[in-house]
Each structure stands twice: as C-alpha cells, then as structure tokens.
Amino acid sequence: MKAFWSFLKDEDGATATEYAVMLALIIVVALGAITALGTKVSSTFADIEGSL
C-alpha cells in the first residue's frame, strides 16, 4: 500500500507529460509558421516568374 501512495505522489510522470504537451504545441506552431512562410515565398516566386 505504501508503494501505491508513493506512486500517486510521484510527480515525474506529470513532468514528462507537461514536456510532451509543450513539445506538441511547439511542433504545431512551427508547422503553422512554416506553412504560412511557404505560402508567402511561393506567391513571391510566382510574382517574380510572372514579371520575367
């Protein structure tokens, strides 16, 4: 029973979960930024190609 209560009070699992959530959010933001930047760059190159 003591091991069970020790497991419930242990915060290492919570910390790992928090880091996993932060990593997932960073990946989502990075993918969004890359997508937006890619669209902007693509339209810029299309404009340059059209002017040539």
pTM score, two decimals? 0.59
- Residue 25: per-residue pLDDT: 96
Residue 32 has pLDDT above 90, yes or no: yes
| pLDDT tens track for 14-31 | 677 788 899 999 999 999
Judge whether residue 11 has pLDDT over 80: no
Q: How far apart are CA 34 and CA 32, in angstroms?
A: 5
Q: What is the DSSP string of 1-52?
A: -HHHHHHHH--HHHHHHHHHHHHHHHHHHHHHHHHHHHHHHHHHHHHHHHH-
CA 52, chain centre distance (Å): 38
